[in-house]
Amino acid sequence: MLELRNISYEVEEDRESREILKNISLTIDDHFVAVTGPNGGGKSTLAKIIAGIIKPTSGQIILDGTDITGMSITERAKAGISYAFQQPVHFKGLTVKDLVSLAAGRTMRVSEICDILSEVGLCAKEYIDREINGSLSGGELKRIEIAMITARGTKLSIFDEPEAGIDLWSFNSLIHVFERMRKEINGMILIISHQERILNIADRIILISDGLVSASGSREEVMPKLLNTEGACSALTGKAQ
């Protein structure tokens, strides 16, 4: 279970303080959670605070009863949090096989790696020895990153706008990957997304607008509000490139 207690985040702009997140309190214990909202509303900032990439100005973060607020990103990774960036990082010189084994923290058998690559829709024979470099598309890199998170088997997996910068075919494949993850992965999955097809998979949707939680509940409870509220509808306007 993840608890956010009175999380606020401020930045200095032109010698003035601007609040990005405003005293957010949430308890998240659902399996597959989608966070959505207008651009600039604070959703990606919240994801980075949970992962430890940035620190909140105030508030507490509790993971399964442990206060992780003061932990670094490395310590949070060890505590069971994985974070997938909008733009996956290239690792020149490392192969897919190397990277998945590193993520798992042990030397994995080739058959294990092949199974994980198959789960994310990649042909193991074609990818297991591929180098992580510019020859891979955005969609391929994102599926490899998901394979790494699957190999780690963490308590909480965070995906920050996984649809960003990928083509429609890759996006359709990615949807199938997340549908499979929802069925097969035991830990919590938290996805920041504008995409209605991702929101439709979620057990719970959290709408963040202007640094505040505007709505939180099941698909059935939140989607009608999202679709019928002027301004909040912009949360669904993002399209895979």
Q: How confident is the model at residue 241 (pLDDT cuts 50, 70, 90)?
A: very low
Helix (H) or strand (E) segment spanning residue 19: strand 16-28
Structure tokens at 49: 């605070």
One-letter identity of residue 3? E
Q: What is the DSSP letter of 109?
A: P
Distance of CA 25 to the CA centre of its chain: 19
Range 115-127 average pLDDT: 83
Chain centre distance of CA 192: 6
DSSP 194: -
Residue keyed to tokens 């959703």: 43
Is it the case that residue 240 has pLDDT exceeding 50?
no
Q: Do 211 and 22 meet the contact criterion of CB atoms below 8 Å apart? A: yes
Q: What is the pLDDT of residue 91?
A: 67
pLDDT band (50, 70, 90) for residue 232? low
- Consecutive H or E run containing 209: strand 204-209
- Give the closest residue to 59 by CA, choosing from 1, 7, 129, 15: 7
- pLDDT tens for residues 158-208? 988 887 777 777 778 788 888 887 887 778 999 999 888 899 999 999 999
Decide: helix, strand or coil at residue 223: helix
The per-residue pLDDT of the chain, averaged, comes to 84
Whether the CA torsion 147, 193, 47, 203 is positive or negative: it is negative
Residue 144 has what pLDDT? 84
